[in-house]
Chain A
């Protein structure tokens, strides 16, 4: 009996410790921030309230991001840039004359948690709109629930199924989708005279869809694929894949990875004797992520990257402000998150109120709006009603590991 009690006490203890630790992780972000003065929000459904009564209440905007788990680096970037933006927004009078409050939810880099977070923000917190995760897999998991609930949100994943599949009404996509970027990448390789690329991809929704699109496009253009190599999230050693690429006779490498793997891949390419001057590497935006140059070091030099944003080049003034506040340069995740959040603010501004249908109409009213990173946002086109962004930038790392402009590409 004593053992049983001890066992029970221990289990309860472990659960409590785990709860406190994990709650501690999310607690810092699940509270409302970055509010100068704590709002006294009344939890009443906004659509049932007269406009006069809600005037002084803050507008709550939800953000679902990866604060813990294997993709936690994205959540940190998102929080930093959004917090800084909202602080300035509120200092300048807020939105529709009301203070803006951000409610962060941690999706723990997991699909089911992302859906639960969406439910909580909509049903309990009653936010006006939601900025979705930066990872496609989580966005694709949320999308059916958003459509079911009839709630406007801006997905930040890149997969084109987010904005197109099943004709979504409430789901908008805030980054240049994968429907367009592979074409831009191949156009770039064409200019370099490269027609036999190897494809290296990460084995999740994002990577597999990207790989499939490249294969299809390469086939349409009559190019060959030297080899197709995969890695899984968390993989650390790519010797076999790099050997396969070397043996395949590839004249270039298309790499569709997440940022930790991107840094390791670049370093191991160099360690395995792959010369990027002979075999150029073009990677997705993850190759601009925080930590990539730390991991890859000089191996990153000469790598081409296609990204929606390259903040240091597109908005150096904001990048400097970001650096002054956080002591580090912003990466593309920080920039994309800020761009997405500013898009939501723009949609609410155009809607003039916060009920879901009006916010949805607000999104659809955004036409040629120039966001913080100097490219246009347009929703509600006949061709891509839910896509807002059709612009990418190609950059490369110079000898000092700074990004250098190569080309601005639009659809």
Chain B
């Protein structure tokens, strides 16, 4: 059967982009405050639910739904900073890690209480029918996912490299003490970082919702794979997070097809272990022994 290789590559790339976007949120928080937010996957899920609430339940136009998602995720990011990061940061990484894990579990149950357990349908911007190029079936939503990831990377690059806000956030990430001495309001920059990473996660939920369906557990797998992607790509590196995520997506789908679909997760985690053993800094990053 022809077309298998490009089909696998295309689908792996699309799913990998989602892992990459989740990883991007991980990295931003890590770079800014040296912590890993394990509720990042649930932020993906919340983004999808916010959008569905607006567009499907309240029948708002698409753009209103998207705006609602952005504002909602910004508020969630702010609340997370005040409610979880601020009370725990002085207590060390373990306290924050524990709090974010606890929050992720609580959020899943909270979503069941509010929206119910039945999977929700999320409408798409593009046609639901796939089209055929050669013998490769293209899901239009996958093109949206890949294109949006590229666009978001460009936007993130412009924000961080070209705007004063981005420069202040980078300064905060590099050395909070020096940034404070330079007159930068470090707590405000940290809030911006969490807000930014929450919005990224929410957009990931918006992108993946039509493909995955919207369920309380939809973020859990993406979170785990995004984390693996960050480790493979290298903690601290933004391109590493995205590339790592894409690699995870591609490894997953290729191992499913060529080895066994029953062991695809095991194979992904085997690759993670190999990286930890032989290239602990990941492809682009720094030593990761402290992350897990």
- A binding-site residues for B, Cβ under 8 Å: 3-4, 6-7, 9-11, 13-15, 17-18, 21-22, 24-25, 68, 70, 72-73, 75-76, 203, 229-232, 234-237, 239-241, 243-244, 246-247, 259-260, 263-264, 270-273, 290-291, 294-295, 297
Contact = CB atoms under 8 A, between A and B. Distances in A.
B106 A243 contact: no
A247 to B, nearest CB: 4
Contact of A241 (B12, B103, B261): B261
Given A240-B256, A240-B264, A247-B4, A263 B119 contact: yes
A25 B113 contact: yes
A272 B1 CA distance: 13
Contact of B261 (A11, A25, A230, A263): A230
Given A237-B11, A237-B253, A295 B112 contact: no
Given A6-B87, A18-B106, A21-B109, A273 B253 contact: no
Given A240-B8, A260-B213, A230 B262 contact: yes
Given A10-B95, A68-B117, 20 more contacts: A7-B90, A13-B87, A14-B98, A18-B105, A21-B109, A25-B113, A230-B262, A236-B221, A240-B11, A240-B256, A240-B264, A241-B261, A243-B1, A243-B7, A247-B4, A260-B119, A260-B213, A294-B120, A295-B121, A295-B213
Return the 10 tightest CB-CB contacts between A and B, nearest first: A72-B117, A240-B256, A7-B91, A230-B262, A239-B11, A240-B257, A291-B119, A236-B212, A271-B130, A294-B121
B128 interface: yes
Contacts of A294: 118-121, 213
Interface string B259-270: 011101100000
A235 B221 contact: yes
B90 A6 contact: yes
Contacts of B1: 243, 246-247
B141 to A, nearest CB: 9
Given A203-B262, A229-B261, A241-B261, A236 B218 contact: yes
B94 to A, nearest CB: 9
Contacts of B212: 236-237, 264
B65 interface: no
Contacts of A73: 117-119
Contacts of B260: 230
A289 to B, nearest CB: 9
A7 B117 CA distance: 34
Contacts of B217: 70, 234
A241 B256 contact: yes
B215 interface: yes
B15 interface: yes
19 contacts: A10-B88, A18-B105, A76-B118, A230-B261, A236-B15, A236-B208, A236-B213, A240-B8, A240-B254, A240-B257, A243-B4, A244-B261, A259-B119, A271-B137, A271-B139, A273-B130, A290-B118, A291-B213, A297-B128
B20 interface: no
Nearest to B141: A271
Q: Which of A3, A229, A240, A273 has most B Cβ within 10 Å?
A: A240
Contacts of B116: 76
Contacts of A17: 102, 106
A68 B8 CA distance: 34
B109 A14 contact: no
A21 B106 contact: yes
A232 B265 contact: yes
Contacts of A24: 109, 113
A281 B112 CA distance: 31
B90 A239 contact: no
B184 interface: no
Contacts of A6: 87, 90-91
B211 interface: yes
Contacts of B102: 14-15, 17-18
A237 B8 CA distance: 11
A130 to B, nearest CB: 22
Nearest to B128: A297
A201 to B, nearest CB: 9
B21 interface: no
B117 A76 contact: yes
Nearest to A7: B91
